[in-house]
């Protein structure tokens, strides 16, 4: 019996599939493949990924559809070839932060798209809502990433200062992504995009050992030659001073007294660099609203030669419009209730940009 891998290879060699793959790999083109039964989408996308030299981005209508598509594609290509780029459960203007898993998966997808050593096939699966949430620019991601290498000369103090400035938080023991801990000549870090934390052992100002460890037992078990330490969050937390200035400039005269107290309390926590539920609500202030930086999506990270595959484009556009309508209705309601300043910047993108 043929394996799914063998069947994928056969599908990839079909003349029609070859023509579609060649068209996608050539000059920018807009193709419509129809009719295409739902059951045929996963094997076709897997076959296109096999023929592509660059990653593919596959957009679905919602999170459930993205999860199903990712699971189906892993059956055809294997677990390492498919990543999920999820959306937060929160709606725009809600005081709710994304969970660690959502942050980790989104950052992992961005890092893989920006890795020049990444080999195909690779498919990033995302619900349309995930594209409506701004993310780091490629320049911000690169500027907030550091590669550690075995034998590298590096000051512990300099490393810790850099990571704390980027938003990593100190903890007695590293148990969650975005945390770091120092014990003598050992620095533990959990890069948010990584599945497991990293233990960096110093000999003076030189990296003597790099090992992955189990956060439950705190025992190291895997030596590595180098490791990439990316940012702890999609919010550019290192822009905190600018964010505080922008927040302070907002006219709060229309807020209820209780809402003003909540705003002031959150501002104090942001000033101290604390992590708290609802911190993502203030994400727009960490970006320069005078240019298009805040409009960066995962599309800015898709390398040249990649294809963006839309599952039922008209339905995606309709659903994106519904999300925008619900968000605008919520904004107007909160302003009327005295819970949101009228000039609060829009925290999401629309289908048009």
CATH code (residue 164): 3.30.2060.10
Mean pLDDT over all residues of the chain? 91
Give domain status of residue 347, yes or no.
Answer: no
Candidate from 28-42, 75-89, 153-167, 240-254 with smallest mean pLDDT: 28-42
Residue 348 lies in a domain: no
Tell whether 58 is covered by a domain.
yes
Q: In which domain, by residue range, is 282 found? A: 237-292
- Band of residue 81 on the pLDDT scale cut at 50, 70, 90: very high
Q: Say if residue 32 is in the same domain as residue 69.
A: yes
In this prediction, residues 274-284 reach a mean pLDDT of 91
Is residue 344 situated within a structural domain? no
Q: What confidence tens digit (pLDDT) does each residue in 280-313 have?
A: 999 999 988 665 544 689 999 999 888 999 998 9
Give me the number of domains the chain comprises: 3
Q: Domain boundary at 257, 273, 292, which? A: 292
**Rounded Cα gap, residues 336 and 346, in angstroms:** 17
| CA 331 distance to own-chain centroid | 25
- Identify whether residues 330 and 221 lie together within a single domain: no
Position 21 pLDDT exceeds 50: yes
pLDDT of residue 11: 85
Q: Judge whether residue 6 has pLDDT over 70.
A: yes
Residue 268 sits in the same domain as residue 310:
no
Pair 176, 94 in one domain: no
CA distance 125 to 71: 10
- 159: nearest Cα among 227, 190, 205, 222: 205
248 lies in a domain?
yes
Same domain, 324 and 284: no
Tell me: do 72 and 153 sit in the same domain: no
Both 10 and 52 in a single domain? yes
Could you tell me if 170 and 275 lie in one domain? no
Q: How high is the pLDDT of residue 182?
A: 95
Would you give the DSSP letter of residue 309?
E
Answer for the pair 329, 340: CB distance below 8 angstroms, yes or no.
no
Q: How confident is the model at residue 152 (pLDDT cuts 50, 70, 90)?
A: very high
Give the DSSP H/E element, type plus range, for residue 105: helix 100-113
pLDDT over 90 percentage in the chain: 75
Question: Are residue 28 and residue 114 in the same domain, yes or no?
Answer: yes
Residue 130 — very low, low, confident or very high, per pLDDT cuts 50/70/90? very high
Residue 351 located in a structural domain: no
Let me know if residue 342 belongs to a domain.
no
Average pLDDT over residues 232-248: 94
189 - beta bridge partners? 180, 198
- Read off the pTM: 0.92
Q: What average pLDDT does range 98-122 have in this prediction? A: 90
Both 130 and 150 in one domain: the answer is no
């Amino acid at each position: 019996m043929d394996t799914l891998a063998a069947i994928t290879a056969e599908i990839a060699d079909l003349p029609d599939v070859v023509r579609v793959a060649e068209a996608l790999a050539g000059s920018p083109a807009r193709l419509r493949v129809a009719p295409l039964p739902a059951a045929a989408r996963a094997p076709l996308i897997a076959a296109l990924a096999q023929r592509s030299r660059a990653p593919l981005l596959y957009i679905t209508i919602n999170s459930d559809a993205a999860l199903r598509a990712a699971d189906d594609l892993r059956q055809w290509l294997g677990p390492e070839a498919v990543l999920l780029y999820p959306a937060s459960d929160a709606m725009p203007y809600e005081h709710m932060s994304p969970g660690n898993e959502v942050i980790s998966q989104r950052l992992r997808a961005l890092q893989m798209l920006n890795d020049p050593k990444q080999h195909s096939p690779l498919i990033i699966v995302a619900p349309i809502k995930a594209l409506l949430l701004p993310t780091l620019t490629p320049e911000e991601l690169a500027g907030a990433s550091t590669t550690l290498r075995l034998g590298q000369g590096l000051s512990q103090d300099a490393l810790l200062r850099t990571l704390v400035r980027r938003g990593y938080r100190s903890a007695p023991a590293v148990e969650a992504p975005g945390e770091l801990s120092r014990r003598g000549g050992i620095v533990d870090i959990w890069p948010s995009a990584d599945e497991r934390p990293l233990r960096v052992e110093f000999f003076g100002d030189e990296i003597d050992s790099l090992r992955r460890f189990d956060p439950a037992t705190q025992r190291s078990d895997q030596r590595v030659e180098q490791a990439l330490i990316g940012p702890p969050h999609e919010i550019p937390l290192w822009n905190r001073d600018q964010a505080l200035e922008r927040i302070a400039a907002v006219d709060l005269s229309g807020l209820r007294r209780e809402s003003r107290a909540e705003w002031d309390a959150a501002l104090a926590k942001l000033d101290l660099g604390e992590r708290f539920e609802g911190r993502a609500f203030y994400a727009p202030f960490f970006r320069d609203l005078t240019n298009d930086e805040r409009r960066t999506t995962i599309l800015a990270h898709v390398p040249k030669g990649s294809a963006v595959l839309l599952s039922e484009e008209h339905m995606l556009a309709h659903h994106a419009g519904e999300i925008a309508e619900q968000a605008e209705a919520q904004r107007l309601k909160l302003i009327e209730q005295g819970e949101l300043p009228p000039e609060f910047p829009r925290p999401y993108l629309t289908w048009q940009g």
